[in-house]
Amino acid sequence: MSYTLFILLLPLISFLLIGVVDLDIPKTGKVWSHKVAGLIGTASLGIVTILSYMTAYQYFFCTPRLADGTLPTLVPYNATWLPLGDLHFDLGILLDPISVMMLIVISTVSLMVHIYSFGYMHGERGFQRYYAYLSLFTMSMLGLVLATNIFQMYLFWELVGVSSYLLIGFYYTTGPAIAASKKAFIVTRFADMFFLVGILIFGYYTQSFNFSFAGTVEYADGAAHFIACNPETALIKNAAMTVLPLSLVLMFIGGAGKSAMFPLHIWLPDAMEGPTPVSALIHAATMVVAGVFQIARMFPIWIEYAPQTLSVVVWVGAFTAFYAAAVACAQSDIKRVLAFSTISQIAFMMVALGVCLPGHGEHLNHSSLGYMASMFHLFTHAMFKACLFLGAGCIIHAVHSNEMAMMGGLRKYMPVTHWTFLISCLAIAGIPFFSGFSSKDEIITACFEYSPWCGAWMTMVAAMTAFYMFRLYYGIFWGTENKEAHAHHTPHEAPWTMTLPLIVLSVITVGTGVFTTLGGFLDWKWASFGSIVSASGIPYTVHFDPTIAGVSTVIAICSILLATWIFKGEKQPVADKMYAAAPRLHRWAYKRFYMDEVYQFITHRIIFARVSTPIAWFDRHIIDGFFDFLAWGTHKTSHLIKGFQNGSVQTYAFWFLLGAILLFLIMLF
């Protein structure tokens, strides 16, 4: 599959082309240049999408499976980039079930966003720049998932960070966008520092950065070698056994930063300052799941050498899921609601990975059901959340505001957006025959197998999810219409470039939902996600646990009904009463439990004031003073010796000879 290289090269070429070449052709005017840039970006992405689907088709259906039914790991390209003795940094392309699945997710959503942006960004200043950044981002994200080793992953990891920074700060003339882009970059970069340290510790001890090649896990060999080499004393063995979990947890911190896990989540809500399609692509569907993907990538190591440590992931994930859901219930900005919903859903995926238990062969499939569930949820979530964000984009496009107060009753004006939004809401709420149902149900099943408490907790969060999503839905499309705002500017349905992606994504959501739901109840092997992605690689057919499926469906429907009862009407007496009953709680949730203020306090009051100021003084007076002194001395010396070069040949010859004699004396003694 040599064409996989083009999956990376095409977006890179289009980035360079759009980014460097000035397409603004004077004769034809501005609009033309817009179209050209957009067309180049979209066309290259279209080809990438086709190539990705071809790859997926060939990989899943035409590649012969190994004896036990595992899909083989293919490496079409791998080249040593930096050799460092035994260790080496490689660059290459690795195809295995999760990377191919990610190819589909990224290329599909990215293509949809490219098409959508034609309408959404129409007439914006910097249209060309926007498409250049989109191409850069897509290239980096694809490189991240196709990486053959953890170091290459880190390289592209940073590149997605950069493109995310550039896109959040796209409207760089407005203050909040600048602040948000800086915040996102600094927070994720801070987390990435741990990631890098983790990689270095890992590479130092196991002598390998590579992911699995040809079915065997190379880094696991390295780790096994490392542990086997140090069995002599209990002390060293202990050290060996703690180093791997340590490095994995450090890497997880990096992943938590990118995936906005509490307490590193603070950048994601602010990142909504970027253009809405960007939020759909980067901050909902692809980049923010990089942390989940990273754990899935390192999963064989986690499960083999650090299964207990996975509970860190469970705790962080479970708390974040609840926290974000609680905050989402009180937000009034629709993109913020979606942002917190994203955090909460990613936390679901994290928890699913965390609740995996070690096992072997077929048994691993069962004990690590969460791995499959997490990847499945990643896929379904990407589709419906992208649809939700793009829908939100259409709404914002129509009413020119993010605030729910400016909306209400929009279903009359925007039928397509309304229906696709509703489908996605049903999917995220976990209603059967919508994609979210199957994946979320498996996550909750996995949680129950891990611990009943965990299962119950996640079920509660799932109920909250249904509640706040329908609060959002009713707030936008039903409820009180803001007649005053709509009077002088009637909302209208978005152009076809914007509605087409919505329809495509909701069709995928419904299609996946119908097949997997039916498949789950009727035991269709081919419709099971486990047949392509599972913890051990051996195909795994999912059966729905009727109790859990039934209970969670009932709970979801109850939550939706509750939300309908409270928020659907023109007047909302129940909601008003609830605010009145617990104003402080609402306020706390609205202010996101003051996490930003805590960060402000720590950075400004403690770090800046108590630590940085004295250091700055030292730097300015002692260090700078020293260097100023050196510079002054250099200039003085330079002034002193200028007579050396006086222009007279005789003097030159004299110095020549004198120098020679001095050197001779030095050599002689």
Binding residues for another protein, per CB under 8 A?
631, 634-635, 637-639, 641-642, 644-645, 647, 649, 651-653, 655-656, 658-660, 663-664, 666-668
Q: What single-letter DSSP state applies at residue 330?
A: T
Pick 580 or 649: Cβ nearer another protein: 649
Q: Please give the Cα distance from 583 to 641 (Å, whole number).
A: 78
DSSP 584-618: HHHHHHHTGGGHHHHHHIIIIIIIIIIIIHHHHHH
Pick 558 or 653: Cβ nearer another protein: 653
The CB-of-638 to another protein minimum distance in angstroms stands at: 4
Residue 336 phi/psi, 5-degree rounding, is: -65, -40
The CB-of-652 to another protein minimum distance in angstroms stands at: 4
The CB-of-409 to another protein minimum distance in angstroms stands at: 55
Count CA atoms within 13 Å of residue 93 on its CB side: 19
Start-to-end C-alpha separation, the chain: 70
Q: Nearest-CA neighbor of 386 among 397, 374, 394?
A: 394
Pick 360 or 636: Cβ nearer another protein: 636
Pick 81 or 593: Cβ nearer another protein: 81
Q: Nearest-CA neighbor of 361 among 97, 545, 539?
A: 539
The CB-of-20 to another protein minimum distance in angstroms stands at: 14
The CB-of-664 to another protein minimum distance in angstroms stands at: 5
Pick 62 or 641: Cβ nearer another protein: 641
Q: Residue written as tokens 């059967």? A: 432
The CB-of-657 to another protein minimum distance in angstroms stands at: 8
The CB-of-639 to another protein minimum distance in angstroms stands at: 8
Q: Please give the Cα distance from 469 to 337 (Å, whole number).
A: 8
Joined together, the tokens standing for residue 517 give 């739901």
- Size of the chain in residues: 669
Pick 214 or 662: Cβ nearer another protein: 662
The CB-of-469 to another protein minimum distance in angstroms stands at: 48
Q: Please give the Cα distance from 165 to 184 (Å, whole number).
A: 7
Measured from the Cβ of residue 218, the count of other Cβ atoms closer than 10 Å reads: 17
Pick 451 or 634: Cβ nearer another protein: 634
Long-range contacts of 445-450 (CB under 8 A, 24+ apart): 445/369, 445/373, 445/545, 445/548, 446/352, 446/355, 446/356, 446/369, 446/370, 446/373, 447/351, 447/352, 447/355, 447/370, 448/548, 449/355, 449/369, 450/314, 450/355, 450/357, 450/370
The CB-of-640 to another protein minimum distance in angstroms stands at: 9
The CB-of-294 to another protein minimum distance in angstroms stands at: 28
Pick 80 or 613: Cβ nearer another protein: 80
Element (H, E) at 478: none
Q: Residue written as tokens 């981002």? A: 137
Joined together, the tokens standing for residue 259 give 């995936």
Residue 402 phi/psi, 5-degree rounding, is: -95, -10
Pick 452 or 659: Cβ nearer another protein: 659
Pick 622 or 649: Cβ nearer another protein: 649
